[in-house]
């Protein structure tokens, strides 16, 4: 079991550029979550999918952020027109199914917006 895989591990973008972050959940896991971690805000929930369907995006900034899960093996988080305040570690996690609460996290993508 390879665990949750996130790519890239580090991404540097210029202000105004687009950033796409990738997540491959653990095989067989039906729920995928995205979190953002900063020193100031800590671990913040962004959004999650269950069986590829978006269930809760209450943590997503309304503008510039979007997430998709086109198939059961990967999810993407896209940030358009990145701003310095978007700099953070973006973490993807998956869980087995709706009745299993334990999240398994990927190593994260560190996004730096210059």
Partner 1 sequence: AQKVTQTQTSISVMEKTTVTMDCVYETQDSSYFLFWYKQTASGEIVFLIRQDSYKKENATVGHYSLNFQKPKSSIGLIITATQIEDSAVYFCAMREGFLSSGSWQLIFGSGTQLTVMP
By CB under 8 A, tell whether 61 contacts partner 1: no
Residue 36 CA to residue 32 CA, distance in Å, equals: 14
Q: Does 64 bind partner 1 (CB under 8 A)?
A: no
Q: Half-sphere exposure of residue 1, counting CA atoms within 13 Å on the CB side? A: 10
Q: Does 102 bind partner 1 (CB under 8 A)?
A: yes
Cβ at position 89, least distance to partner 1 in Å: 7
Site for partner 1 in 27-56 (CB under 8 A): 31, 33, 42-43, 45, 48, 50, 55-56
Q: Phi-psi category of 60—alpha, beta or left, where left has phi over 0 and alpha has psi -120 to 50? A: beta
């Amino acid at each position: 079991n390879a665990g949750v895989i996130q790519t890239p591990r580090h991404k540097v973008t210029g202000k105004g550029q687009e950033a796409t972050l990738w997540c491959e959940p653990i095989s067989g896991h039906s729920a995928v979550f995205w979190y953002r971690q900063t020193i100031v805000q800590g671990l913040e929930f962004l959004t999650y999918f269950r069986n590829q369907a978006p269930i809760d995006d209450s943590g997503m900034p309304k503008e510039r952020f979007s997430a998709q899960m086109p198939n059961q093996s990967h999810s993407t988080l896209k940030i358009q027109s990145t701003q310095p305040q978007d700099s953070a570690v973006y973490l993807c996690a998956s869980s087995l199914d709706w009745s299993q609460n334990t999240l398994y996290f990927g190593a994260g993508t560190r996004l730096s917006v210059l």
